[in-house]
Amino acid sequence: MLIINTTYHASATVYDNFVEWLCSEYIPAAKCEDVLKSPQLTRVLDGSNGEDGYSYALQFRVASVEAFKMWYARTGKKLHEEMVRRFGRDVVGFSTWMEEIEAK
C-alpha cells in the first residue's frame, strides 16, 4: 500500500475556510471513487503562532501510482483547480509518495 501525503500551507487569512473546505468538500469528493482510502488530516506543529498561517498534511492510502494517476485525471485535477480558484496563492502545497513497510 502506498501513501500520498500532501502538505499545504494556508495563509492566516484563509486557514479556517481552507480546513473547512478540505473536510466538507475535498475529502468527501476525493473518496467517492473508492481509490483513495483512509484520509488523515493533521496540522503540522512548527512552533509558530499562526501569524503567517498554518500547515496541514493530508494523507490517503492508495493501491498504486497508476490508480492515483487515473483518479487524478478523473477527479483530482478538478479538485485542485477548485482549490486554486477559491484560495489562489493563499494556499500552496507539495506532495510526497511514501511506501508503507512493516515494522519488525
pLDDT of 96 reads 97
The structural domain count of the chain equals: 1
Instruction: Name the DSSP letter for residue 88.
Output: G
pLDDT of 92 reads 96
pTM over 0.75: yes
pLDDT of 23 reads 97
Assess if residue 104 is contained within a domain. no
Assess if residue 41 is contained within a domain. yes
CB distance 84 to 21 below 8 Å:
no
Provide the domain limits for residue 6: 2-99
Extended strands (E) in 1-104: 2-10, 37-43, 54-62, 91-99
Assess if residue 51 is contained within a domain. yes
Assess if residue 48 is contained within a domain. yes
Distance CA 59, CA 81 (A): 19
pLDDT, block means (10 residues), the chain with 104 residues: 96 95 97 95 84 92 96 96 97 95 87
pLDDT of 67 reads 96
* CATH at 73: 3.30.70.100
Assess if residue 29 is contained within a domain. yes
pLDDT of 50 reads 73
pLDDT of 18 reads 97
